[in-house]
Structure formats: C-alpha cells, structure tokens
Amino acid sequence: MQTAIRIVLVSAILLNAATCVAADKMKPGLWEMTTKSDAMKAMPKIPP
C-alpha cells in the first residue's frame, strides 16, 4: 500500500514538473489541432 502511494505521489510530481517546463515554451492564443485517419476513408461522405 505504501509503495503504491509513493508511486502515485512521484508520478504526480513529475507530471507537474513537466507541465511547468512546457509552460515557458507555449505561446498564448488560439490553438487548432487536426487529425488524419485512414479509417475515415471508408466512411460515407455527408453533404454539408
């Protein structure tokens, strides 16, 4: 039980540290994300 708590605690600290490091490199503003999938080719086309 103690080992599991320690693993969760260390994981949370590392995740927080990684977020803090990445925050300096990000720029504020509108972020757009797109994804592409080969599975979508088999889907029927839906008119707008």
Q: How far apart are CA 12 and CA 7, in angstroms?
A: 9
The overall pTM is greater than 0.85: no
Q: How far apart are CA 41 and CA 13, in angstroms?
A: 42
Spacing of C-alpha 10 from chain mean position: 19
Q: What is the DSSP letter of 24?
A: T
pLDDT tens, residue by residue, 1-48: 789 999 999 999 988 888 887 777 777 777 777 887 787 777 788 887
Q: How far apart are CA 32 and CA 30, in angstroms?
A: 7
Residue written as token pair 């039980």: 1
